């Protein structure tokens, strides 16, 4: 699936979608699918790391 950055009109694959301008203001960020997916991926990676360190 492809997702699109609304601010810059850039398409990218959803599997490796990341915000290419995370430090810039974006009026679309609160409803941005790319930002949401990146945040979820980071959260999942952190949980896996914490789980592996706890074993």
pLDDT in tens, the chain (55 residues): 899 999 999 999 988 889 999 999 999 999 999 999 999 999 999 999 998 887 6
Q: Are the CB atoms for 20 and 8 separated by under 8 Å?
A: yes
pLDDT for 10: 93
**What residue spans define the domains of the chain?**
2-54
Q: Nearest to residue 21, comparing CAs of 37, 5, 36, 33?
A: 5
pLDDT for 16: 84
Helices (H), 1-55: 33-54
pLDDT for 55: 62
Q: Are the CB atoms for 21 and 10 separated by under 8 Å?
A: no
Pairwise CA distance, residues 39 & 41, whole Å: 5
Please state the pTM of the whole predicted model.
0.78
């Amino acid at each position: 699936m492809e997702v699109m950055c609304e601010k810059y009109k850039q398409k990218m694959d959803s599997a490796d979608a990341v915000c290419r301008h995370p430090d810039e203001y974006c009026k679309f960020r609160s409803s941005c699918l790319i930002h949401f997916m990146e945040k979820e991926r980071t959260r999942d990676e952190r949980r896996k790391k914490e789980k592996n360190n706890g074993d």
